[in-house]
Amino acid sequence: MGKFMTMPKLDMSMEEGIIVDWLVKKGDKIQRGDIVVEIETGKLSLEVDNPAADGTVLELYAAAGDTVKVNEPIMYIGEPGEVPPTVGKKSPVDEAKQERVEAVEEASASYDLAVIGGGPGGYVCAIRAARLGARVVLFEKDSLGGVCLNRGCIPTKALVRNAEAWQEVLNAGPMGISLSDPSFDWEKILERKDRVVNTLVSGVEGLLKKNNVEIVRAEASAGADGIITAAGKTWKAENIVLATGTKPLEIPFDNDGSVRIYNSAELLAEKKLPESIVIVGGGVIGVEMASIYSSFGVKVTIVEMLDSIIAAADAEVSELLRAELVKSGVDIRTSTGFRAVKDGRAVLADGSEIAAGAVLIAVGRQPVLDGLSPEAVVKLDSKGFIETDDTLGTSAENIYAIGDITGICQLAHVASKQGLQVAEHLFNGKTEKINYNAVPSCIFTKPEIAWVGMTEAEAEEKGLPVKVGKFPFKAIGKALAGGEAGGFVKVIVDERWDEILGVHIIGAHASDLIAEAGAAVHLESTSEELAAAVHAHPTLSEALMEACEAVRGKAIHF
């Protein structure tokens, strides 16, 4: 005789839960304690184990996306050949499948918004529009969350944290901690990275379903008059948002096949660490991967055509990052290009050769237009990105574009903000514009760097009279106590009005500290106003306060 697994009560106030995803299927043999399902309570999403019995999964009484009351059956576990009990007249799974088929068949009736692309711009736009009362359908051919969640921001940040933890172990001696024969397991590190990604992907799906956004898992093509085709069917929407993002840019080079060539997505999935890697491109992806891989003992070489890495950053920040990477063992070759792979070596434009166990091409990204055919209905710029106006509308009526595909600013947080802007414009009548001058940029190297607003050189190019305040972390108590005293905060102001034009940070937790600076730039604050705000002690944020004081020669601790 088999046993039911029922919807568990995961917190004191829980009355029902949403099946986010089944981690088993009918016919699977499972044991008590095996993780079998992910459930969302409205407060959190948790992977839940089988509390019932050992046996075979004979029936699933609820499908992904279904809401089930606490203590109602969700699974039946028994022996092969046993007939599972029927709950209701028809299996809930069969009913759910039928409902989805009927919903898709009716989909062409009337949608207020169709979003093509489920990344940080697309899914945020869909949810906000749905909360504003719109009927929304979202198309995604791959995993929800886009490149950022699946092959970019999140998986790399998981690896960054592992790299930090490993370096903390290796450098624990000055902290008075002795460890004998430490080691790491790269496959387990990747497993952790994948668990983080999968948890967040499931969370995005749960949020979309909770907000009644219909999800169509297929490549979609947007045409004229609000018609979308996908999986051999058609949908019609009053408005369409294109949010299909970008993909790694490819470059031509001679390759004899002696070295494995990766793009960033492929490298994140590689199960083994190479002994050495040549990274072509000294931008964000290049330096982050260099920092991660060098932390785990890989011999890393960065090849960059420009005369500096992270060319968009303040010159002093870029130079200090270069010095820190070199100190960690990274070889940096600037002012030269990558030409070929020959006999296990990377051949550079200056004629030099570097032994390479692998090569990562990280020279930029290009817009994803596959399957969309937007060139037939929207105007593209000279680089192939979709042109938009102040409302993110395209040249085609009722078609909008957000995120990396616009080429405005290729950052996940910008895509999300653009998604909110379009939803508010369409369904709440708001036309508020994004202040792109106040968008923070963060690079998760060791040390981190972050900035917002103008660099000193950009301000001078615009003919603005500037003053600079600079303060080192080595003069901050929290930084010294934490063993993270490298780096500085640099504040650039307009000398006439003291308005903060830009803030540049290199050091521990720069990506967190930049938020305050971003708010200051957005609000057109002065350095005197920011310095007047009391900053808690001991914290790293005191460095920003002191840098603002330094603009007027009033810094206390340096």
Pairing of strands 331-334, 299-304: parallel
* Interhelix angle 186-210/122-131, nearest 10 degrees: 30
Q: Is 294 exposed, middle or buried (0-12, 13-18, 19+ CB in 10 A)?
A: buried
Which residue from 267, 277, 264, 249 is spatially nearest to 341, judged by alpha carbons? 277
Q: Burial, 271: exposed, middle or buried (Cβ in 10 Å; 0-12, 13-18, 19+)?
A: exposed
C-alpha span between 452 and 455 (Å, rounded):
8
- Rounded to whole angstroms, the Cα distance separating 147 from 197 reads 11
What are the CA-CA distances from residue 469 to residues 111, 149, 442, 519 (Å)? 53, 36, 21, 18
Residue 278 and residue 296: Cα distance in Å, rounded?
A: 15
- Residue bearing tokens 């083994």: 272
Count the Cβ atoms, other than its own, within 10 Å of residue 265. Answer: 14
**HSE of 405, CA atoms in CB hemisphere, 13 A:** 33
Short-list 58, 68, 76, CA closest to 4: 76
**What are the structure tokens assigned to 151, written together?**
């092959």
d(Cα 526, Cα 498) in Å, to the nearest integer? 5
Marked catalytic residue, from 413, 504, 509, 537: 537
**HSE-up of residue 452 (Cα within 13 Å, Cβ side):** 23
- What is the distance between the alpha carbons of residues 551 and 492, in angstroms, rounded to a whole number? 8
Instruction: Examine the residue annotation and report whether 537 is marked as an active-site residue of this protein.
Output: yes
Distance CA 150, CA 147 (A): 5
Total Cβ atoms within 10 A of residue 42 = 15
CA distance 225 to 370: 20
Token digits for 463?
A: 């003919």
Give kind and range of the element (H or E) at residue 361: strand 358-361
**Residues identified as active-site:** 537
